[in-house]
Amino acid sequence: MNRPRARRAGLTVLSALLAGGLLTAAAPSAAAGPAKYTHAAAAQQLRNAGITWTSSGACSNRNNSRCTSFDQINKTTISGVIAFKGASRCAVTITGGTETGHAPGTYSHWNGYKVDVKLTSCVDRYVTTKFRYVGPRPGDHAKQYRSPAGNIYAHEGSHWDITYYNGGS
């Protein structure tokens, strides 16, 4: 059977299955949340990019605030951290992920949008010279910088609290 005829035959079969209710066409849900990683999958992506992490409890249990967990982290958050490392050429160490103990909210650590990154002169210099200062954050007055991708880097004194709304740096 030639390709065009095979393709038409395949489409005919699919149409019949759809019409008969034996197959359903799934459209993405408007309410679907962002794609997530398990801790192991996110850790592998970070490891491959040369990004390290530390945990005061030497653990990765999401329900323990002394751990650093990537369980249920957004894939765009991981791609954002990787993009930041690539653009800045800085050593990047994550000190906080999706573990309990952070402030709540839609764009929170728990919901997979944030990571905390260790302060270094390289990271500090890159954020403060390449990103636009947008003023203090309401509540704690942390200095905030917006990347060209729209992500927010907030200097919380002991680390950078980064909110990744999308995968750019």
DSSP of 60-90:
--TT-TTS---TTEEHHHHHHHHHHHHHH--
Is residue 130 over pLDDT 50?
yes
Instruction: Report the pLDDT averaged over residues 11-37.
Output: 52
Is residue 4 over pLDDT 70?
no
What residues contact residue 49 under an 8 Å CB cut-off, 6+ apart? 81, 82, 85, 86
Dist. CA 51–CA 74, nearest whole Å: 16
Provide the percentage of residues in the chain whose pLDDT is more than 90.
76
Say how many C-beta atoms besides its own lie within 10 A of residue 90's C-beta.
18
Instruction: Report the pLDDT averaged over residues 121-135.
Output: 98
Is residue 7 over pLDDT 50?
no
- pLDDT score at 5: 53
Is residue 123 over pLDDT 80?
yes
Helices (H) and strands (E) in the chain, counts: 4, 9
Instruction: Report the pLDDT averaged over residues 106-126.
Output: 97
